[in-house]
Every structure is written in structure tokens, then in C-alpha cells.
Amino acid sequence: MKTLHILNGDATKSLFTQSGLTGDICVWREALATGPVLQVVGSPEFWKLRAQYIMDSFEGYFQKGPDLEEYQAMAVKLAMVEKAAHYDELILWFEYDLFCQINLIALLSWLKHLEPKNTKISLVCIDQFPGHPNFRGLGELKPQDFPSLIGQKIQLTTKDLEFAHEAWLAFADPDPRAIQNLLNRSFPPAFPFLADALKAHIKRFPRARNGLNHLQVKQLELIRKGSSTKKKIVREMLQNDFHYGFGDLQYFEMLHQLAKLYDTQGDQLLLNSTGESVLSGTMHFFDIEKSDFPLGGANGRKYCLDQADETLTVSNY
């Protein structure tokens, strides 16, 4: 039986390769929860859009800038997915957080399009493991733990793939209210973490009151408390907002986007008067920051979150 394991990241791979499980391995290295996306996954236009986002977002900000050739090589490796029909079974290893769940539905949407008719598609996705009371993800496990998880895999049905495809289309829709429409439906048992992940995504839209989203408010509140450096803030976010699944790269980028709201004194961040006004709601962030920004398929500037009922409406900006 020929098997392809699609793993959620390199941390999982380093353990998985020592587990004794057999089969080919493909690592999903994209981060589709951030940046723009298209509804057709895996197309040349899709990879071009993603590559441009990586180049535009991170060039010149981090010590080691993005490498276009490296990204393109990664996309070529992911093209192993297009050979799904050559395998008897695909086993997908993903986690419960927003980051992983968005990658998962994108992958399943791609597989639905490819239609590998004689290939079983199975999913291993857990939010707990014995001996790990604060389980964060597969990268915490020992190599010998992975074989036991094979017994927990779920074979996905055609209806499961169809639902995952619809979820991806909603995430990639220019109108994010498609996600709220989806959340009004019953989710298949195969995806017990997807609804919460999509709700977390909705909280990334700016609040109507001040134009800041849930995570931006938390970062500014940490700065307001004082004695904050970028590294300390990112470490705090990683510890307490792990259900988003973001790494330090994403949180550093968020701080960069808020740069007009704080000053620096050495390596310390200090909330400035503009930041105080925005955080308190007496000033709107979009009066300061004029740039559009993508959230899934939507322009995040065009929609806002009504905190009273957690619904999205069209923004006045």
C-alpha cells in the first residue's frame, strides 16, 4: 500500500521521520491564514499571488529577507499533492488552531478539484494527548507517539471534502460574511475544530469602534503596561493566543503594522498619544493607516466587526 503523509510543518517532520511509520512525506509550509488568497488553490495565479505577498510583506523588515527562489521551490514540492492519484492513501496531519485549519481546508479544496478517485484521504487532527495537559501541537510529541495516532485517523468522505471546499470558498470570498453564513450550518464530525478557527478569523477584522482587531488590541495593551520589548510582546502572544497558531513572524509583522501607535526608547516600546487615542476609541486607526490589507479573500479595510453580536458589516472606510 503506497501512502503519502502530508505534514503540517517541519517541526512535525523532524519527529515523524523517526517514528517508524512508512510512506512518502510532503510538508505543507504555506501560511494561508495570512495574506491574500484565491479560491482556486494550486493554480499558477495562486502561487504568484502568494509569492508576491511574501516578498512585499517581509522584505527589508527581518534580518534575513524572503527568497523568491526558495518560495518557488517550496511551491514545487507542494505539487506532490497533484500526484495524489498515485497513492492508495493520503494521511493528513494537521492541528486544531486557525493557522492549521485554514491550510487544511485549502488542501482539501485542492484535492477535491484533483479528484483522486481511488485514493483514500484520512485526517489526523487532535487537540489533546495523554501526558500533555496543555497540548499545543504535534511538535510536542515524541517520535514513538505518532504510530498510536494512526488509530485515531478519520477517513474523509466525499461530503467531507465538499464541506471543506465550501469552507475554503467562504474564507477566500471577497465578502467575508460568507463565513458567517457557513457558521450557521452544522459542521461535519470530521472537522471538530473548524468552526472555532473560523470564529477566531472573524475576530481579526477591525472593530467598528476604533479600527483595531482583537490581536492588535492585545498587543497595544501589552505596550501600555510598560517594560515591553517586541520580543517580550511576541513571547506573550505566543503563550496566550496559541489557538491562532501564529509564529513569531506573524506577530512581528502585526507590530510593524502598528508602528505609528508607539514610540521606541532603546528596545522599549512606549504607547504614544495617538496610540492611546486609538485604543480608547476617540480616534479611528483607519484615519491614520490608509493602506488596504487582506484577510482571506477579503479586503479587511472594507468590513468591520460589531462586537455586540460578533457580526461583520460593511465599513464606512
Cell of 60: 527589508
**CATH number of the domain located at residue range(s) 3-201 in this protein:** 3.40.1360.10
| Chain region(s) in the chain for CATH 3.40.1360.10 | 3-201
Across 51-60, 79-88, 239-248, 308-317, least confident range: 51-60
What is the rounded CA–CA span in Å between residue 31 and residue 37?
10
Q: What is the pLDDT of residue 61?
A: 42
- Determine the distance from the C-alpha atom of residue 107 to the mean position of all C-alpha atoms in its chain, rounded to a whole number: 13
Instruction: Check pLDDT > 90 for residue 110.
Output: yes
Cell of 104: 487544511
The SS3 assignment for 237 reads helix
What is the rounded CA–CA span in Å between residue 26 and residue 8?
9
For the chain, the C-alpha Rg in angstroms (whole number) is 20
Q: How large is the average pLDDT for residues 202-213? A: 96
Residue 202 phi, psi dihedral angles, 5° rounding: -60, -35
Instruction: Check pLDDT > 90 for residue 4.
Output: yes
Query: With bands split at pLDDT 50, 70 and 90, how would you rate the model's confidence at 59?
Result: low
Residue 86 phi, psi dihedral angles, 5° rounding: -80, -5
Higher pLDDT, 63 or 131: 131
Q: How large is the average pLDDT for residues 264-289? A: 96
What is the rounded CA–CA span in Å between residue 270 and residue 158?
53
What is the rounded CA–CA span in Å between residue 295 and residue 57?
14
Q: How many CB atoms lie within 10 A of CB 199?
A: 14
Q: What is the average pLDDT score of the chain?
A: 93
| Chain region(s) in the chain for CATH 1.10.10.10 | 205-314
Q: What is the pLDDT of residue 263?
A: 97
Q: How large is the average pLDDT for residues 252-269? A: 95
Q: How large is the average pLDDT for residues 3-17? A: 95
What is the rounded end-to-end Cα distance, in angstroms, of the chain?
55
Q: What is the pLDDT of residue 66?
A: 56
Amino acid identity, position 223? I
Give me the architecture of the 205-314 domain, per CATH.
Orthogonal Bundle (1.10)
What is the rounded CA–CA span in Å between residue 22 and residue 24?
7
Long-range contacts made by residues 240-244, C-beta under 8 angstroms, separation at least 24? Answer: 241/215, 242/97, 242/136, 243/96, 243/97, 243/98, 243/196, 243/200, 244/33, 244/97, 244/98, 244/99, 244/200, 244/215
Instruction: Check pLDDT > 80 for residue 85.
Output: yes
Query: With bands split at pLDDT 50, 70 and 90, how would you rate the model's confidence at 71?
Result: confident
What is the rounded CA–CA span in Å between residue 239 and residue 179?
27
Q: What is the pLDDT of residue 75?
A: 80
Q: How large is the average pLDDT for residues 282-306? A: 96
Query: With bands split at pLDDT 50, 70 and 90, how would you rate the model's confidence at 60?
Result: very low
Q: How large is the average pLDDT for residues 136-141? A: 93
Give percent of the chain with pLDDT exceeding 90: 84
Among 286, 287, 100, 122, smallest CA distance to 205 is for 286
* Full-model pTM: 0.94
Q: How many CB atoms lie within 10 A of CB 50?
A: 20
